[in-house]
Amino acid sequence: MQSKIIELEKVSDYFHDGMSIMFGGFMGVGTPPLLVEALLQAGVKDLTLIGNDTSFPTNGVGPLISNGRAKKVIATHIGTNPETGRQMISGELDVELVPQGTLAEQIRAGGSGLGGVLTPTGVGTSVAEGKQQLQINGKTFLLEKPIRADLAIIHAACSDKAGNLQYRLSARNFNPLIALAADVVIAQADEIVEIGSIDPDAVMTPGALVDAIVRS
């Protein structure tokens, strides 16, 4: 089986202005710093960033926001990154806040080929504005549409050369989901081992979903 390891300089071949990028992790843990830096160095702009949060101004995807590379953010909260809030208030950045469970299920639906998910979360609030509502067994649900992206960037603790991935603790958050819901998946791996070194039962993201691996 052919190795999927590439040099960091080659990842820019996957980048373009205006693309949508899903990123994994929580508060920057599980978001690949080398790939974020590669996006900065490539100079791409007008990005749509999709993930749990925008971390801090100098951590996670925060540098992309601090340097004005994003035009839109879809996240569950932005409270730890004051620059995201500043740009939202000034109109520089379009921010769509989504309940955490809803965002996870929208991404899961995008990766599974579903037409959307039904959830009672957000009914009767501003979250419901402009969305289709359905009555099922006397209860109101919102139809939340699936989310996909052009690219997913992942931080793994370990990968084999075929792209089978393992995560460590909270770095696993959102990473397995986004690997299913993006057209291209690039992983930064802290350790790269030979094919067959990872027990199949221990694989958290199968290599069939991963297009390229960068060594940390």
Q: What is the pTM of this model?
A: 0.92
Percent of the chain at pLDDT exceeding 90: 90
Structure-model confidence comparison of residues 170 and 11, the more confident one: 11
CA angle 62/188/150 to nearest 5° reads 70
What CATH number should be reported for the domain holding residue 192?
3.40.1080.10
**How many CB atoms are located within 10 Å of the residue 68 CB?**
13
Note down the domain range covering 79.
8-115+146-215
Distance CA 140, CA 21 (A): 32
pLDDT over 70 at 1, yes or no: no
The answer to whether residue 130 sits within a structural domain is: no
Q: How far is CA 9 from CA 39, 46, 157, 164, 185, in A?
A: 11, 21, 21, 22, 16
**Does residue 91 lie within any of the structural domains?**
yes
> Strands 212-215 and 182-193, how do they pair?
parallel
CB-CB contact of 168 with 43 (8 Å) = no
Task: Please tell me the predicted confidence (pLDDT) of residue 2.
Answer: 75
Cα distance between residue 21 and residue 4, in whole Å: 20
CA distance 31 to 24: 5
Tens-place pLDDT, residues 125-182:
988 889 999 999 999 999 999 999 999 999 999 999 999 999 999 889 999 999 999 9
* In-domain check, residue 191: yes
Report pLDDT digits (tens) over 81-107. 999 999 999 999 999 999 999 999 999
Asked, for residue 1, whether it belongs to a domain, the answer is no
Q: Please report whether residue 76 resides in a domain.
A: yes
Count: domains in the chain: 1
Residue 3: pLDDT band by 50, 70, 90 thresholds?
confident
Residue 47 has pLDDT above 90, yes or no: yes
